[in-house]
Structure 1
Amino acid sequence: MADIKAFIHDDFLLETEFASNLYHNYAANQPIIDYHCHLSPELIAKDHQFNNITEIWIEGDHYKWRAMRTLGIDERFITGDASPKEKFIQWASCVPKLIRNPLYHWTHLELKRYFDLDELLTANNAAEVYDKTSELLQLPEYSVLSLLKKMGVETVCTTEDPLDSLAYHSEFTHSDGITLSTAFRPDKAIEIQSEGFENYMEQLSAVVGFPIDSYESLTKALDNRMDYFAAHGCVLSDHGLEQIRYAETNDIKADEVFQKKRNGKPLTATDLDQYKTAVLLFLAKGYHKRGWVQQYHLGALRNNNKRMLQELGPDTGWDSIGDFNQAVGLSLFFDTLDKSDQLTKTIIYNLNPSDNELFATMIGNFNDGSIRGKMQFGSGWWFLDQLDGMTKQINALSNMGVLSVFVGMLTDSRSFMSFPRHEYFRRLLCNILGNDVKMGHLPNNIEHLGAIVSDICYHNAKSYFNFNQ
């Protein structure tokens, strides 16, 4: 087996002594607040024990799936009926070919942090690694809560649709200092053009206990569900949208569009913009009333491969970066809320790196001094949560905003083995600052920069989200 102790080592990604000092003394031991992810609250509440490493590490991971398909792996070994061990061996055969893809770093970092494995993963040792890790996963110290504790996780915030009963959040009790929270994600009530919209309205009607036959009743239902989520400790919302397209609108116009949809009439682009603007404004005002943080993940072009979407469904690896116009809609949307003093704390996430400076300057338009870091340019996400993507986001935020108030990293993941991504981000942040010190761009003041690093890694998020308060 190849020894990679010189690869995943104490100073991995840290190029200077100052960066090493920053990371080990100010970043590494900070608790993790993972304020946006797609983990299963059921598995957390039940303290699930995984059967094997494929189940915890490969199932549902469309990052890995895309790479495997690119390398010519048959779908049977990705989402098909191959055995867990066969799937793992196929994945392992791909890893050596993934140099410079973040999966190469994440793979070995995760094997090291969770299983203390120091060997490079290849097809040659795949069976042995599978057996060893799957055996460990049967131990009590590898249950879900034990894994979260092992990574220093303090708060996990999952993402739920308004239909969700939040039963598992209710069932969960604080365990070893771990808190489980949720984020309200009502995208299906916004995407009126989708084929499943009418069915979704029926489901929402069943949950709230009254018919949804108008825009007014829809807003009543959404208000009902926001109250329900708030009663269960929710302090965040989230939206995954291509863009925010703003249009002058009102409740009457929104209801006209709603009725056209109910009656099976075609919707125009203007109809869509007026309806979606109305719903987004209604929701945003509801978030402000409740003191929630609102999040907008913008720029994904989803479900590009319709053949595979039909076969495998959404979130299976057929999405990419889009090139949408973002500035005008964002500006008008935030300005409308700001005029009535109903703009709550907000994080905007950008998926197209060409828009980084746009996002970094947009938040400055609405940071009004009322709240420290009220408007946030979120960390690089999805295709951009790698070294280059995160560096560009940090640079844009630093150059055009205030890095020291940044709320830092999140996993946005469906995998319980993704938490070393916080370490990955923290090492990168410390390395950037360490190189700035080396070049004389920042003073050699470890206490000052260390305090900023600690804030970005933990304290800013703790304060911003008011978790555990």
Structure 2
Amino acid sequence: MSHASLVRRDRDRLLPADPTTRSVARALYERVADAPIISPHGHVPVEWLVEDRPFSDPASLLITHDHYVTRLLHASGVGLDELGVGGSAADPRQVWRRFAERWPLFAGTASGYWISESLQNVLDVTVPLSAATADEAYDRIADQLATPELRPRALFERFGIEVLATTDDPLDDLAGHAALAAEGAVGRVLPTFRPDRYLDPDAAGFAQNVERLVAETGSPGTFAGYLAALEQRRRYFIEHGAVSADHGIEVPDTLDLAPEEGEGLFARVVSGDADAGERHSFRAHMLLQMARMSVDDGLVMTVHAGVVRNHSTQTFRRFGPDSGHDIPRRTDFVGGLRPLLERFGLERDLHLVLFAVDETVYSREIAPLAGFYPSVYIGAPWWFLDAPDAMARFRSAVTETAGFSRGSGFIDDTRAFLSIPARHDTARRADAAFLARLVVEGRVDEETAGAVIDDIIGPQPKRVFKL
């Protein structure tokens, strides 16, 4: 195979195999290939950019903290302790060796694709991973991590990131964000208000979290004081550049209660006397309260629903949360969100972005909701679905009902910093491929397709997230 054919195959990766459609897709992709990255929801720690320290080692950078990777290795028989998960003591080189010798496990997976892109395009590692090449690749990466070009700020600029949002605790002082803004060393880095542990009575330390929230804001320990404390912290986040509040929930239920009912329920959940039904009602009422606050203060409300967290109790007890055993479940947005939408759904200043990992709700629920309610937007494929084929299914599921304008734009939702450009590139190629098929089938003309892909890469997420 000639070098030219290798270059062409790489250039056209993820684009349609049919030559005619591929040609149209290539032209669409090249319009946006180098456009700045807008990342309004993610999990890169702000400290990485504030401190700008070199990444410690290849295993920590690419494996240990990426549960896409560790979960599949665990399924194949590798212990999470052998991978350094949850603070387990593990030699980084040995972690890397275990990963490299099992590299074929990742064939066809989205994580395998992202890691390949990061290795080749960011770290200049072109040797195929295997047990035989593990040390060579490890040393190559380790040598680069010591260079200024591989520090977080340099990568931020190299990746062409225009906006990057972090995810932050409501009581965080946001000093890191203030320092970055004052220094102006990188592009726009925004905090995101993530109040789950203060809203969910089943969260570890809920009562203590609520007590700390009202104490630090000087609010009374009543339900009204609790709501005022949350509102105060939201204003603080807005003053530090936040544009959104994020809610990670298992069930997207909402409930509209009278103030006196809310007060009684609050007292029971804080005291620990509430039963399972009452705790569920409190979560549902607080999700509606979060929508009310977003109407009042303008924060975009993103809802990531439908994941059973910490499915393996034994693993959770040993390794803690975010250790690879969060599992999707069925969701009901139509019934669950109806109380919220009955009250606030027609508010044009409310931007409610719905993310799901249950593919069946895209065409059945989310697209029809976004196709009517001016407040509702379709969140991009998330978590288990942010992969090329799933992105294509997503576009097919929502476009015929809601078009392109009701989407959020691509959301990388990641802590894996090196994978950010690969993830956005994947989405751009997937969108180009989908639009190209519409062009070739005579359903959209090329001029319209070009305008659409231009919009969904930058202007659309800026509109949806009020950037």
Cα contact 2:81–2:90 (8 A) shared by 1 = yes
- Give the percent of matched residue pairs that are identical in Structure 1 and Structure 2: 27
Aligned length: 453
Cα gap change, 1:266 to 1:275, in 2 (>3 Å):
closer
Task: Give the stretch that moved more between structures: 330-339 or 284-293.
Answer: 330-339
CA offset digits 1:179-220 (Å, max 9, x no partner): 100111111222123342111112213421345x22111101
* 1:216 maps to 2:218: no
* Aligned residue in 1 for 2:92: 84
Match of 1:276 in 2: 283
Structure 1 residue 355 and structure 2 residue 357: aligned? no
User: Quick one: which of 333, 346, 349 aligns to 1:326?
Assistant: 333
Letter in 2 for 1:182: P
Letter matched to residue 354 of structure 1: T
Distance 1:8-1:143 versus aligned 2 partners, 3 A rule: farther
2:39 is aligned with what amino acid? Answer: D
Counterpart position of 2:19: none
* Aligned pairs for 1:32-431 within 5 A: 32-78=37-83, 79=85, 80-173=88-181, 175=184, 178-211=187-220, 213-269=221-277, 271-338=278-345, 341=347, 344-357=350-363, 358-367=365-374, 374-419=375-420, 420-431=422-433
Q: Which runs of 5+ in 2 are unaligned?
A: 17-21
Q: In the superposition, relative to structure 1, how do residues 56 and 426 fare at CA in structure 2: closer, same or farther (>3 Å)?
A: same
Report the Cα offset of residue 267 of structure 1: 2.1
The runs of at least 4 consecutive aligned structure 1 residues that moved more than 6 Å come to none
TM-score of the pair, normalised by structure 2:
0.92
Contact 1:108 1:120 (8 Å CA) reproduced: no
Please tell me whether the aligned partners of residues 149 and 176 of structure 1 are also in contact (alpha carbons under 8 angstroms).
no
Secondary structure of residue in 1 paired with 2:285: helix
Counterpart of 1:42, as a letter, is E
Describe the shift of the 1:244–1:407 C-alpha distance in structure 2 as closer, same or farther (beyond 3 A): closer
Q: TM-score, normalised by structure 1?
A: 0.91
Shift of 1:102: 1.2
Distance 2:204 2:222 in 1: 18
Could you tell me whether the CA contact under 8 Å between 1:238 and 1:297 is conserved in 2? yes
Q: SS where residue 43 of structure 2 aligns?
A: coil
Tell me, in whole angstroms, the C-alpha distance in 2 between the residues paired with 1:334 and 1:64: 38
One-letter amino acid matched to 2:342: D
* RMSD (CA atoms): 2.1
Q: Deviations over 1:348-401 (max 9, x none)?
A: 00110111111111112312xxxxxx5211111011111222122211221110
Alignment-mate amino acid for residue 340 of structure 2: F
How far off its partner does 1:266 sit? 3.4
Residue by residue over 1:97-143, the C-alpha shift from the partner in whole angstroms, topping out at 9 and shown as x without a partner, is 22222122112111122123333222221111111111111111111
Give runs of aligned pairs for residues 426-441 of structure 1, distance below 5 A. Answer: 426-441=428-443
> Whole-Å Cα distance in 1 between the matches of residues 342 and 371 of structure 2?
12
Provide the secondary structure at the position in 2 that maps to 1:107.
helix
Q: Per the alignment, do residues 247 and 290 of structure 1 end up closer, same or farther by CA in structure 2, a change over 3 Å counting? A: closer
**Offset at 1:342?**
7.5
1:371 aligns with none
Deviates further, 175-184 or 357-366: 175-184
Moved more, 87-96 or 219-228: 87-96
Determine the C-alpha separation between the residues in 2 that align with 1:262 and 1:404: 42
Q: Which range moves more in the overlay, 399-408 or 223-232?
A: 399-408
Write the letter of the residue equivalent to 1:183. Answer: T
User: Does structure 1 retain, via aligned residues, the 8 Å contact 2:370–2:378?
Assistant: yes
Tell me which protein shows more helix as a share of its residues: 2
Kindly state the Cα deviation for residue 8 of structure 1 after the two structures are TM-superposed.
Answer: 7.1
